[in-house]
Chain A
Amino acid sequence: MLDVKIKKIILHERGTLLSEIKFALEPGNISTILGSNGTGKSTLIKSLTGLLDSRFYSVEGSVVFDKEDILSLNYSSLLDIRRNKIKYVFQDSINSFDHLMKFDYYFRRIAKDISEADDLLEYFILPAPHKLFSLYPYEVSGGMAQRISFVLALLAHPQIIILDEPTSGIDSAISNLFLIKLKEFVARKNQLTGEQDHAALLVTHDIMFAQKISDKIAFISEGKLSSFVDTQKFFEAGIDPSLNKFLTAGNSLWK
């Protein structure tokens, strides 16, 4: 569904951050990139739809979606993809909103069918539309903003949802809600063809969450991304020393 072949992501001040990033998102799958802080996970997902500021970053390579290379699209087609096809839920979702626009603005602009909002807001334990829509983003907590951002992403009926650290800063119970909803999302079928055509990409350092939610996992460290393997296999393998170190730390915390 999304075919990523990025040769290099360069931060002009510092040089190459990531190189040889190759993977494909498959319909019906939740794919997760696991890695420590500061390994370039957020940079990587931002590069996929040209969200990195070109004054500071260059991206060499291609990201093919619907037979077109996103990185060489003109601006209006790029906006169309960001608005309708590939939606993000960022870690600091609160900063994704203009603090002087009420939520009403975002829901009416983004939702394909506003009547779906009721159920989703209730599901994510958020205030009902008549209450929420009259709030400004600065009136909600960071965790609420993250949930609202996810609801908005779902309401846009995209084909791909990309989430950045969905479990950091929110309660475990809410993370469970994310997990269930995301699995429902990728299982959706195209109404015409009857085939699955939704996918999700996550980046996180939460090993346990990754293990529960992912169909495939890749490990990112020292500027490189490993290939995606089935979740079970990912935890069996462990030849890479930095991956071993990462998993061992996780094990001693939770076991």
Chain B
Amino acid sequence: MEMNYLLKLENICYSVDDSTHLSKGGAKKIILNNISLNLEKGKILGIAGESGSGKTSLAKIIAGINKSYNGEIIYNFSGEWKRTKTNPVQILFQNNGEILNPLRQIESIVEETLRIRHQTKNVESEKEKIFESLNISELVRKKKGYELSGGEQQRAAFARILATNPELLILDEPFSAQDPESQLNLLNLFKKINHEYKITMICIAHNLSILNKLCDEMIILYKGNIVEKSSTQELFSYPKHPYTKFLIKAGNYSLNYEELSATKWKDEENNSTIE
């Protein structure tokens, strides 16, 4: 059981110097406060919370992009990746259009990634498998970055990520700005990839109802703190923390003004500031 985890966070704290116009200068602003969690291999973890709750900061710390935190992260990767130049943690960002090279064919982007990862063996068959599982047609494979629609861009970026053979995939707000049909397609795609490639996933979103459909476990972040952590089923059937209840109700657009203004969940400036 103990070795079944992929990732362990122990008391992760992260703060920044707060010198914006919006607050007093010179103070420290806490972005993440004592975050601890275990993520089991093969599971999908959902992280929900409003803008500014620390979702993306946490993702960047887990991915190793941001190293200026306190606390401990223990990874339990298989080891294959140690021989390669790719990172076992990959992030699928929101704005894929700006990330893909507009002047390169998708096929060549994916091919290059496969070659970077390992010696030239099996490139063709792996490429084929990736394109097939993402439903990327022959026609789209030949397209260049600038020729892709929003949905195609997202799948192309996803193909490149699969080519790195990640062990942990972080999805950063993949559903926002997508219409319902694309959201449903993506949802099914993530489940399929989780299953077929056995990739552990973390999905960040402010839309709770989609996380309900995708994730095994959930954490709710509020101003850098985990206010609730449980299985998805339990979280949605028996939400405990008032903020979780608030978020669920907000997601159904059923809050009235009293509930909105009565909550303490407003952006009280400097609330999380320490002197």
Binding site for B on A (CB under 8 A): 35-38, 125, 127, 131, 134-135, 139, 141, 143, 165, 168-173, 175-177, 179-180, 205, 207-209, 212-213, 245-246, 249-250, 252-254
User: What CA separation (Å) do A172 and B184 show in the bound complex?
Assistant: 19
In the complex, the answer to whether A205 meets B22 with C-beta atoms within 8 Å is no
Q: A139-B21, A170-B51, A171-B51 are in contact. Are A249 and B181 (CB under 8 A)?
A: yes
What are 30 A-to-B residue pairs whose CB atoms are below 8 Å?
Answer: A35-B179, A37-B177, A37-B182, A38-B149, A38-B150, A168-B177, A169-B176, A171-B250, A172-B206, A172-B207, A172-B208, A173-B50, A173-B246, A173-B247, A173-B255, A176-B254, A177-B260, A179-B253, A205-B179, A205-B180, A208-B253, A212-B253, A213-B253, A245-B181, A249-B183, A249-B184, A253-B180, A253-B183, A253-B187, A253-B209
Interface of A, secondary structure class, is: helix
Q: Which of A35, A135, A172 contacts B253 (CB 8 A)?
A: A172
Min CB gap B133→A, angstroms = 21
Min CB gap B232→A, angstroms = 15
In the complex, the answer to whether B180 meets A127 with C-beta atoms within 8 Å is no
Binding site for A on B (CB under 8 A): 20-22, 50-51, 149-150, 176-184, 187, 206-210, 213, 246-247, 250-257, 260, 265-267, 269
In the complex, the answer to whether B257 meets A180 with C-beta atoms within 8 Å is yes
In the complex, the answer to whether B180 meets A168 with C-beta atoms within 8 Å is no
In the complex, the answer to whether A173 meets B265 with C-beta atoms within 8 Å is yes
Known A37-B179, A127-B269, A254-B209; 19 more pairs at CB < 8 Å: A36-B180, A38-B150, A125-B267, A131-B21, A135-B22, A139-B20, A143-B51, A168-B177, A172-B206, A172-B253, A173-B246, A173-B247, A173-B265, A180-B256, A205-B180, A249-B184, A253-B209, A253-B210, A253-B213
User: What CA separation (Å) do A66 and B22 show in the bound complex?
Assistant: 43
Most B-side CB within 10 Å, residue of A134, A141, A180, A209: A180
User: What CA separation (Å) do A77 and B27 show in the bound complex?
Assistant: 51
Collect the chain A residues with CB atoms within 8 Å of residue B178's CB: 37
User: What CA separation (Å) do A56 and B50 show in the bound complex?
Assistant: 39
User: What CA separation (Å) do A177 and B181 show in the bound complex?
Assistant: 26
User: What CA separation (Å) do A38 and B149 show in the bound complex?
Assistant: 9
User: What CA separation (Å) do A209 and B206 show in the bound complex?
Assistant: 15
Closest 9 CB pairs of A and B: A205-B179, A172-B250, A36-B179, A249-B180, A250-B180, A171-B50, A173-B250, A176-B255, A249-B184
Collect the chain A residues with CB atoms within 8 Å of residue B255's CB: 173, 176
Closest to B210 in A: A253
Min CB gap B251→A, angstroms = 5
Q: Which of A131, A170, A172, A246 contacts B251 (CB 8 A)?
A: A172
Min CB gap B141→A, angstroms = 21
User: What CA separation (Å) do A249 and B187 show in the bound complex?
Assistant: 11
User: What CA separation (Å) do A141 and B22 show in the bound complex?
Assistant: 12
Closest to A142 in B: B51
Min CB gap B120→A, angstroms = 39
In the complex, the answer to whether B181 meets A173 with C-beta atoms within 8 Å is no
Min CB gap B146→A, angstroms = 15
Min CB gap A100→B, angstroms = 16
User: What CA separation (Å) do A131 and B24 show in the bound complex?
Assistant: 11
Min CB gap B175→A, angstroms = 9
User: What CA separation (Å) do A246 and B178 show in the bound complex?
Assistant: 12
Min CB gap B205→A, angstroms = 11
In the complex, the answer to whether A212 meets B50 with C-beta atoms within 8 Å is no
Min CB gap A25→B, angstroms = 22
User: What CA separation (Å) do A139 and B19 show in the bound complex?
Assistant: 12
In the complex, the answer to whether A252 meets B184 with C-beta atoms within 8 Å is yes
Collect the chain B residues with CB atoms within 8 Å of residue A134's CB: 21
User: What CA separation (Å) do A179 and B252 show in the bound complex?
Assistant: 12
User: What CA separation (Å) do A104 and B225 show in the bound complex?
Assistant: 35
Min CB gap B56→A, angstroms = 12
Closest to A169 in B: B176
Min CB gap A217→B, angstroms = 14
Collect the chain A residues with CB atoms within 8 Å of residue B150's CB: 37-38
User: What CA separation (Å) do A135 and B21 show in the bound complex?
Assistant: 8
